[in-house]
Amino acid sequence: MAVTAPSAAGAASQPTIADLLAAAERPLFSFEFFPPKDDAGSDQLWRALRLLQPLAPDFVSVTYGANGSTRQRTLDVTARLASETNLRTMGHLTCASQPAAEVAAMVGRYAAAGIRHILAVRGDMPGGPTAPWTPHPDGLPNATALVRLIRRQGDFCVGVAAFCDPHPERSDPGLDARLLVEKAEAGASFAITQLFFRADSYFALADRVRSLGCDLPIIPGLMPITQISQTTRFAALSGAPIPAAVLAQLERVADDPAAVREVGTQIAADLAQSLLDGGAPGIHFFTQNRSVATRAIWAGLQTRR
């Protein structure tokens, strides 16, 4: 990638995501990537990044396996982004199925790579999000404890996960809101939601959190729908039901992959516009290491605004 690497001093003096949210006069836009498994996946990731970088995202992030399974690949991609680009870069971190010492060591590796932003997520058990949560015998009990650990280890700007649709483990929206407030009290500066499909779900979550006296900025996470099977799988993992109306639109064109992408992109674009019109502080795109749909939605939002 032909980009200019930031200096260490320049990266340190960059405004944090929390700073951007506090001073924002426009919505923030950000992109999420996942670490590739092989050379072909790596080529796809960096190709998508080259095409998305000119949009000047406010930050980018790299996911981390729910039980730490991709920690080294996550670190490698995150460190490369930080060293080879000027992009504000955030690494993800989970505490599921890992001793606290390993989690703390990963925080240290992020710091050594110049990463000052971490998204702290509890993570799921190997059986998925509906499997009962069992902390590692030498691990952390929850995401709130993870936020505290990160904050103790340095001057990090910490984000956390939020659930517009109830977390599938408990299916209790009130509990989800209270846990989000606890994470804010532990030192989180902002939240990014998991996948969802209804704008009303996002605003209901925000209202629940505000009713508890918490003004934590909540950035909606949005995944452009390009494949029905992929979207259904991610929705099941995140506990976000696909509305019947959305599924019907997709199924009407199920035999035409190009039409699925077009319809899915429009659905996501309409959702993003509704969120921004209602006052959401930005949009975090789950890119799936692809760029076409994300670029189309971003361009449409710029035109409408």
pLDDT of residue 302 exceeding 70: yes
- The pLDDT assigned to 51 comes to 97
Residue 13 lies in a domain: no
Residue 8 lies in a domain: no
* Region 18-38 average pLDDT: 96
Question: Of 32, 84, 102, 182, which is the active-site residue?
Answer: 32
For residues 283 and 270, the answer to whether their CB atoms sit within 8 Å is no
Euclidean distance between CA atoms 146 and 183, whole angstroms: 9
pLDDT of residue 10 exceeding 60: no
Euclidean distance between CA atoms 94 and 64, whole angstroms: 7
Residue 14 lies in a domain: no
CATH number at residue 273: 3.20.20.220
Give 245's pLDDT tier (boundaries 50, 70, 90): confident
How many domains is the chain partitioned into structurally? 1
Q: Is 84 a catalytic residue?
A: no
Give 168's pLDDT tier (boundaries 50, 70, 90): confident
pLDDT of residue 169 exceeding 60: yes
Residue 148 lies in a domain: yes
* Region 1-10 average pLDDT: 39
- The pLDDT assigned to 305 comes to 66
| Span 126-148, pLDDT tens digits | 777 777 888 999 999 999 999 99
Structural element, H or E, at residue 134: none
| Span 67-82, pLDDT tens digits | 777 889 999 999 999 9
- The pLDDT assigned to 210 comes to 98
The string of DSSP codes covering 19-88 is HHHHH-SS-EEEEEE---SSHHHHHHHHHHHHHHGGG--SEEEE---TTSTTHHHHHHHHHHHHHH----
Residue 117 lies in a domain: yes
The percent of residues above 90 in pLDDT, for the chain, comes to 71
**Structural domain for 272, as ranges:** 26-300
Nearest one of 88, 99, 93, 58 to 75, comparing CA atoms: 93
For residues 225 and 265, the answer to whether their CB atoms sit within 8 Å is yes
- The pLDDT assigned to 5 comes to 35
What one-letter code names the amino acid at 301? Answer: L
- The pLDDT assigned to 200 comes to 96
Query: Distances from the Cα of 217 to the Cαs of 86, 141, 200, 206, in angstroms?
Result: 24, 24, 17, 9
Looking at every residue in the chain, the average pLDDT score rounds to 90
Strand partners, 179: none
Residue 6 lies in a domain: no
Euclidean distance between CA atoms 290 and 280, whole angstroms: 24
